[in-house]
Structure 1
Amino acid sequence: MSVRSDAPLAIVGAMQEELAALLAAMPDARPETLAGRQFWRGHLEGRPVVVVLSRIGKVAAATTATVLLAHHGVRAVLFTGVAGGLAEGVAVGDVVVARDLLQHDMDASPLFPRHEVPLTGMTRFPADAALANALAAAAQDVLAELPAHLPADVQAEFAMTKARLHRGLIVSGDRFVATAAESARLRADLPDALAVEMEGAAVAQVCHDWGVPFAAVRTISDRADDAAHADFGRFVGRVASPFSAAIVRRTLTRL
């Protein structure tokens, strides 16, 4: 796919709360509705961007990504939002930047190996290295400057003063992982998985098919266990939007 060097960068999130602060920082944003989605074109940190809400789940996210790439000619896609922590040591408030993404509920065996996307020969879709490096550097900056981005009471509530950056595998599936037993099964099946969510691997697959660079950053909202539902609501409401905005805006200054 040929993309102009001055083409906009796409920023995608699954929930309105995750994008609210970004849209508030784009006074020139103009919405366009396609396939039931609103795409906001404008500028962020002086750079042309398209911001879109993917909705929740792999099918919704893949539909959004396809419409985005077909109609907006973006040069790259950044996915931002929240996820559940899986690996030991990945705590609420930590940030995970994907190296690879995989659909943990993809299973066409015995016709194809478990987790392999049929007819692709791939189980893991790699993030673009340059974009992922920029996201990681931006996230490290934001974590180092935490008081400038989150009030002290929010940091204390989620113990974010000790928040860390992780890089590795993020897995996606069409269910909200919210029991310790299911989280344990995922760790057993995919021991190197750092976090679980519901959209990223689907968007990564679409971007791979189109030849468009993709990267993803997720802030850990819960531990994907029996307390996930309670943790998730509070975290998204108080942290997701300003934290996602801070990381993405800092990333744009590095591209």
Structure 2
Amino acid sequence: MILLLSPLPMELHPLLQLFPFQETGNCLFGKGYRTIISDNEHVLIEAYTTGMGKVRSVATTVAILERSIAAKQKIDCAVLLGIGGAADKESIGDLLIASDTLQWDLEVQPGRGKSGIYPDGGGIEYTDERLSGVIHAAMAQADLAAFSGTSCTGDRFLASERRDGIASPGVIDMESAAVLTVLNRYSVPSAVLRLVSDTVTQGRPKNLRNFIDDRLPNIWRAVVSGALTFSQGDDIVP
């Protein structure tokens, strides 16, 4: 099974228009959908909205994974895709395929420790290198540019004066590090993608929904292609 996640309905909507998904009902703070893609063999894809923010997205992700375990459904891979803000010089429309994630607003010892790091040294979460590479290759085949960097997660909106300490290149969001923490603890190979939708200097597109509906369909199509390739044990050569 392939698991596809987005924080908000508007981010998942373009995916649901590409394939014959059927709604499966609510899952805590999100809603689920399911479809089967036939390509030599039947591949089940489940898609969910997780809800916005670290707490909601974690609760929903745990519920999804526990539901899969109860149903004895093996998750081959998971991909989280959503929008986010530029960490530094990234532009609107740039696409991040994250190599890692951290919580930029986690400051356990103010002024004494590195933001995003727990006292035990944990805090940075890494995506699956092979899955991310396969999705990179799928994007290249679709003539979609993507860059590698860090997805910086926090529950607060990040004012421009605090961006100096944020990893760059990267994208700022409200769910990635939290969701990836859960997926990694359940040993699910995972990738995180974030489309830059706003910057300090450029602001945000006048119509965010139109921007998402214009940019995300092709990205979702490439994500599905890459996830299918990964789940079948293959690689894409760009």
TM-score by length of 2: 0.81
> Are residue 48 (structure 1) and residue 48 (structure 2) matched?
no
Q: Which residue of 1 aligns with 2:88?
A: 87
Displacement of 1:245 in angstroms is: 2.0
Cα distance in 2 for partners of 1:44, 1:22 equals 13
Q: 1:168 aligns with which of 149, 152, 155?
A: 149
Secondary structure of 2:179's partner?
A: helix
Q: Where does 1:18-97 land on structure 2 (aligned, <5 Å)?
A: 18-27=11-20, 29-44=22-37, 46=39, 47-73=43-69, 74-88=75-89, 90-97=90-97
Q: Check 1:115–1:125 CA distance in 2 against 1; reply closer, same or farther (3 A cut).
A: same
Q: Which residue of 2 aligns with 1:136?
A: 136
Structure 1, gaps ≥5 residues long: 1-7, 147-163
Cα distance in 1 for partners of 2:112, 2:188 equals 26
Cα distance in 2 for partners of 1:45, 1:196 equals 36
Range that drifts further, 99-108 or 14-23: 14-23
> Are residue 199 (structure 1) and residue 195 (structure 2) matched?
no
Number of matched residues? Answer: 222
Cα distance in 2 for partners of 1:39, 1:64 equals 10
Cα RMSD for the two superposed structures: 2.5
> When you count helix as a share of all residues, which structure comes out higher?
1
Secondary structure of 2:229's partner?
A: coil
Contact between 2:108 and 2:119, CA under 8 Å: does it hold in 1? Answer: no
Q: 1:17 aligns with which of 7, 10, 19?
A: 10
> CA offsets, 1:128-154, max 9 Å, x none?
111111121122223x2x6xxxxxxxx
Q: Check 1:10–1:224 CA distance in 2 against 1; reply closer, same or farther (3 A cut).
A: farther
Q: Which residue of 1 aligns with 2:222?
A: 247
Cα distance in 2 for partners of 1:228, 1:129 equals 31
Cα distance in 2 for partners of 1:243, 1:104 equals 30
Cα distance in 2 for partners of 1:209, 1:253 equals 22
Structure 2, gaps ≥5 residues long: 70-74, 231-238
Q: Check 1:52–1:120 CA distance in 2 against 1; reply closer, same or farther (3 A cut).
A: farther
